[in-house]
Structure 1
Amino acid sequence: MSRTLHTSDWHVGHTLYGHTREEDFDAVLAEIVDIAQESRPDLIIHSGDLFHTSRPTVVDLKRAVRALHALADVAPTVVVAGNHDSPGYFEFLNIVSGPSRGKGLFFIDRPRPAREGGILSFDACGGEQRIRLAAMPFVHPNRFWRSSSTSGMTPADYAAGMRDLQAELLEALHEGYDPSRDVLLFTSHVYVAGAKRSPGERAVHEAFEVPAEDLPEVSYVALGHIHRPQPVPGIEFPARYAGSPLPMDFGEASDSKSLVIVDADPGRQAKVLPRPLSSGRRLAYFPGTLDELRAQAARYDGTFLKADITGEEPGTLLTREVTEIVPNAILVGPVRAREETAEAVLDDAPGDEPDLPDAFRAYLAREGMNSLVAESTVSAFTQLLNEIDDETPSPVPAEEQLRIALSDTWTEAS
């Protein structure tokens, strides 16, 4: 029986309200390596967003690559680029740490045809089995832009384009397929319709999703992009988001973080075993009075703490008092007393708030903007938010039409 370890969305370099998380990353990456060494997989898959930004620092590069080298010492390790990752950086990492250097590391920077790195094969179970992996990094919606379009690229265009790419890889997976020996896997950094985001997770590219039924039917689909660990519902074969190993914000504070162990035999459905991860500081939210915090201080020791204090004069700065009560907590922002009113909701975590596009839509409605105009404005705003994480800017329809016109100018016949 072959074994695959699936991890994802490390987001190395992420900070929390300006606080570094280097110790958290060191701890959880060491935990992942320990699980790999204990479980002895035949293959390790990282399904994207290795880094939090497309320009990671040297410190973050060393931290991530050091962990990947440790994983590659256990088994061949494949890393696909996510929407936060730079294809250029991945291409460089493949040169200096890839298979040509004997490291057992494979960085897949861009979607590639089968014969150019889209399909990878690995011996498993001492050569008795073979794992065939189709790897698809994040596919930017611009890939399916049509110059003849006057309305821009639609979600339907994206879904159709992704369906074709996935079908091509699935067809290539079956070329030379030996049903008595081969285990087929697929990995992708993509938003699958129906996946549940954590409350604080921004809806990047959510409009550009793929239907679950379009995923290639293989022994296991290893997905990245969504931070909440979860299976994909509504399909008859196992597909799962491994999720991020650390909570990225307070909306993920209650998520149970994990990686996934996948055991598979040729011609049989894989057995999927999530393994919990417990390293790194917890993110904690406290609503209540200073006396209540004193009574529960041990619960918040060593956490990233966001405190809403009531029972004091509203607006009073209470950072010093809270620090004295929980000296080993890292306070997220200055602590000010909050007015306790009937409208105040203290039961929800601070991550339980609308996404920026939804908040902007509500603001436009309050300002009396026409709903059709508001939706167009929100769409443009969401696109600008997405560009923060992407290297390739989206084409502007007017600019594209002007480019076409200038490239094929009309001249009056003489």
Structure 2
Amino acid sequence: MSRLLHTSDWHLGRALGRYSREEDFDGVLAEITAIARETEPDLIVHSGDLFDTSRPTSRDLIRAVRTLDDLAAIAPTVVVAGNHDSPGYFELLACLSGPSRGRGLFFIDKLRPAREGGVLTFDTRGGRQRIRLAVLPYVHPNRFWQRSSVSGTTPAAYAEGMRGLQRELMQALYEGHDPDRDVLVLAAHVFVAGASPSRSERHSDADRAFTTAPADLPEVAYAALGDIHAPQAVAGVPFAARYAGSPLQMDFGERGEAKSVVIVDADPGRPVRVMRRRLSAGRQLAVFEGPLEELRQTAHLYKGVFLKAVITDEEPDALLTRTVAEIVPHAILVSAAPKRPESDDALLEEAADEELNLGDAFCAYLTDQGMSGETAQSTASAFADLLGQLDEEAPRPVHAEELLRTALEDTWTEAS
């Protein structure tokens, strides 16, 4: 039997408002490592978005490498780059921490031809079986602009290009394939059409337009997918394909989601057995919406919880946050604000064929985050002013820039 541990979308460095999530990351990464030690997989796969930004801090780099080194001591560990990851950082990490340094840790920084690192082979612990792994890191739509076989930059052109890449990987997987010994696996950071993202995941509509059809995925024993934070199976494929999901509730759109890693047991030529292992180390996120009196009655439910409070019986008041904090002293209060009128909500739900007023939408968002109306309007106006300058050939001067230019033109020199 071959055993695989699948994890994904750690997003190291993600914060929640002004609050760091380092404590939560440390707890859940230790939990994932403990599960790996207990289950003894033959291969560990991380399907992308190791970091939350393309320029992670030194603390997050250290956190990632230490955890991945611990995992690689248990089983070979492969990490494919997601859309939040920097291929350059992955290349550097591969040089410092990969197989060239004697560690079973593989960073897949960019798309590689199937015969040049696009397919990796790993013997299982007993040596009787092999896992042949096709790796497909995030492929930006721009990747296909200059491919002679693909014309245009439309979602259809992207889908065509992705089909070609996946066909190549499939062909390479079957070269030298031993049906009595080999288990075929795909690790990919892709948005599969029909998958259900968490409500507030940071995807634009444009991102969602560039999808991969379920039928285009290479037919393998198991597809370890990354990009979607809600753990789920992919419908419409004749084999097991899953998003492992994020290990923490990353934002309030993910509140209530049960996080997990995936354990996959496989034998050549047989359906795999997929088991989710629940992760519990991360603190929960909650949204309260109602009057202050109801919050007083339910305050005990929010101990140790990141809380967003939307108060329905109060007018905008600079002291509202303090009042809410006194009611739920043991919660981690991320924001507290009165419920805004329905007319403000409508700004974010305009019909697709209408032009969105970004200034108004931004103002509504700031108000929803607890900023006073006057400050939100001022901030949104400054945003609109900067946005308008994008279309100007000669942007208007900024006051601070003028002061700096004046100082440089009339520099003070020390007397000789």
TM over 0.5: yes
Corresponding residue for 1:162?
Answer: 162
Corresponding residue for 1:64?
Answer: 64
Q: Give 3-state SS (helix, strand or coil) of 1:37's partner.
A: helix
CA shift for structure 1 position 361? 4.6
CA shift for structure 1 position 311? 2.9
Distance in 2 (CA, whole Å) between partners of 1:71 and 1:296 is: 41
Q: Deviations over 1:115-141 (max 9, x none)?
A: 221111111141011111000100111
Residue 31 to residue 148, structure 1, CA distance change in 2 (3 Å): closer
- Percent identity (aligned): 63
Q: Deviations over 1:9-57 (max 9, x none)?
A: 0000001113211001001111111111111100000000000000000
Distance in 2 (CA, whole Å) between partners of 1:187 and 1:157 is: 22
Q: Give 3-state SS (helix, strand or coil) of 2:24's partner.
A: helix
- Unaligned runs of 5+ residues in structure 1 are 346-352, 368-414
Residue 30 to residue 295, structure 1, CA distance change in 2 (3 Å): same
Corresponding residue for 1:375?
Answer: none
Are 2:327 and 1:336 equivalent residues in the alignment? no
TM-score (norm 2): 0.81
CA shift for structure 1 position 114? 2.3
What is the aligned-residue RMSD (CA, Å)? 2.5
Checking the alignment, whether the CA contact within 8 Å between 2:134 and 2:173 is kept in structure 1 is yes
Q: How does 1:62-101 map to 2 (within 5 A)?
A: 62-101=62-101
Corresponding residue for 2:393?
Answer: none
Q: Deviations over 1:93-114 (max 9, x none)?
A: 0000001111210000011112
Distance in 2 (CA, whole Å) between partners of 1:284 and 1:217 is: 39
Checking the alignment, whether the CA contact within 8 Å between 1:48 and 1:85 is kept in structure 2 is yes
Corresponding residue for 1:227?
Answer: 229
Corresponding residue for 1:272?
Answer: 274
Distance in 1 (CA, whole Å) between partners of 2:347 and 2:217 is: 27
Among residues 328, 351, 364, which one is paired with 2:355 in the alignment?
364
Residue 143 to residue 329, structure 1, CA distance change in 2 (3 Å): same
Corresponding residue for 2:304?
Answer: 302
AA matched with 1:328: H
Distance in 1 (CA, whole Å) between partners of 2:5 and 2:148 is: 43
- Unaligned runs of 5+ residues in structure 2 are 359-416
Residue 331 to residue 363, structure 1, CA distance change in 2 (3 Å): farther
Q: How does 1:65-144 map to 2 (within 5 A)?
A: 65-144=65-144
Corresponding residue for 1:262?
Answer: 264
AA matched with 2:234: V
Q: Deviations over 1:189-231 (max 9, x none)?
A: 0011110111111334211111100100010000001111111
AA matched with 1:268: R
Checking the alignment, whether the CA contact within 8 Å between 1:316 and 1:336 is kept in structure 2 is no
Q: Give 3-state SS (helix, strand or coil) of 2:212's partner.
A: coil
Q: Give 3-state SS (helix, strand or coil) of 2:209's partner.
A: coil
Residue 360 to residue 282, structure 1, CA distance change in 2 (3 Å): farther
CA shift for structure 1 position 276? 1.3
Corresponding residue for 2:192?
Answer: 192
Corresponding residue for 1:179?
Answer: 179
CA shift for structure 1 position 327? 1.7
Q: Give 3-state SS (helix, strand or coil) of 2:11's partner.
A: coil
TM-score (norm 1): 0.81
Distance in 1 (CA, whole Å) between partners of 2:5 and 2:357 is: 49
User: Mean Cα displacement is larger for which, 57-66 or 301-310?
Assistant: 301-310
Are 2:198 and 1:207 equivalent residues in the alignment? no
CA shift for structure 1 position 4? 0.1
Q: Give 3-state SS (helix, strand or coil) of 1:126's partner.
A: coil
User: Mean Cα displacement is larger for which, 316-325 or 70-79?
Assistant: 316-325
AA matched with 1:74: I
Q: Give 3-state SS (helix, strand or coil) of 1:95's partner.
A: helix
CA shift for structure 1 position 146? 4.0
Q: How does 1:15-94 map to 2 (within 5 A)?
A: 15-94=15-94
AA matched with 2:115: R
Checking the alignment, whether the CA contact within 8 Å between 2:248 and 2:259 is kept in structure 1 is yes
Number of matched residues?
356
CA shift for structure 1 position 317? 2.8
Q: Deviations over 1:212-257 (max 9, x none)?
A: 0010001000000111111110111000100111122111112221
Residue 135 to residue 354, structure 1, CA distance change in 2 (3 Å): farther
AA matched with 1:232: V
Residue 323 to residue 344, structure 1, CA distance change in 2 (3 Å): farther
Residue 336 to residue 194, structure 1, CA distance change in 2 (3 Å): closer
Residue 203 to residue 325, structure 1, CA distance change in 2 (3 Å): same
